[in-house]
Amino acid sequence: MGCGAVKLLDTHALLWLITGDAALGENALAVCDEAQLAGDLGVCAISWWEIGMLRQKGRIHLTQTPTALRHRLMGAGLLEIALDGETGIAAAEIESFHGDPADRIITVTAQMQGACLVTADQKILDWEGALNRLDARQ
């Protein structure tokens, strides 16, 4: 499927982008850079919860608090897509999708926004539902 104007970063893709992790592929990095310049690079609000939880569990180490990081990135033009009731309902009702609540919310957010989801999550990449997606590893 093609990619929409807004590029929505899955949580790991956001972390790879901000840390300069080579896991983010050259094509995905170029797409993200172009989207950022156009003001079309976004993240689902639940990604901040995921980042906070990963930090709390010691699975990631950040040089800033999640709050400071969020403010810095939002100040640099990163779009934050809020979670609302319609998104919550759609995430609960998404068909043939695995059970991770954050993945469900991020995926449905991309669908509802007509955005392209930049992800390396193989379950999302393999999902047969209607979703614009880009493999973050490429």
Per-residue pLDDT band for 99 (boundaries 50, 70, 90) equals confident
Tokens 């956001």, located at residue: 14
Measured distance CA(12)–CA(69) in Å, rounded:
15
* Torsion sign (Cα): 99, 103, 109, 114: negative
Mean pLDDT of 14-23: 96
CATH number at residue 16: 3.40.50.1010
What's the angle, vertex CA 41, arms to CA 40 and CA 46, rounded to 5?
130
Domain that holds residue 37: 7-135
Measured distance CA(52)–CA(6) in Å, rounded:
24
Q: Does 86 map to a domain?
A: yes
Mean pLDDT of 78-98: 94
Q: Does 1 map to a domain?
A: no
- The pLDDT value recorded for residue 66 is 96
Q: Which one is predicted more confidently, 5 or 119?
A: 119
pTM, 2 dp: 0.94
Query: What is the token pair recorded at 14?
Result: 């956001």
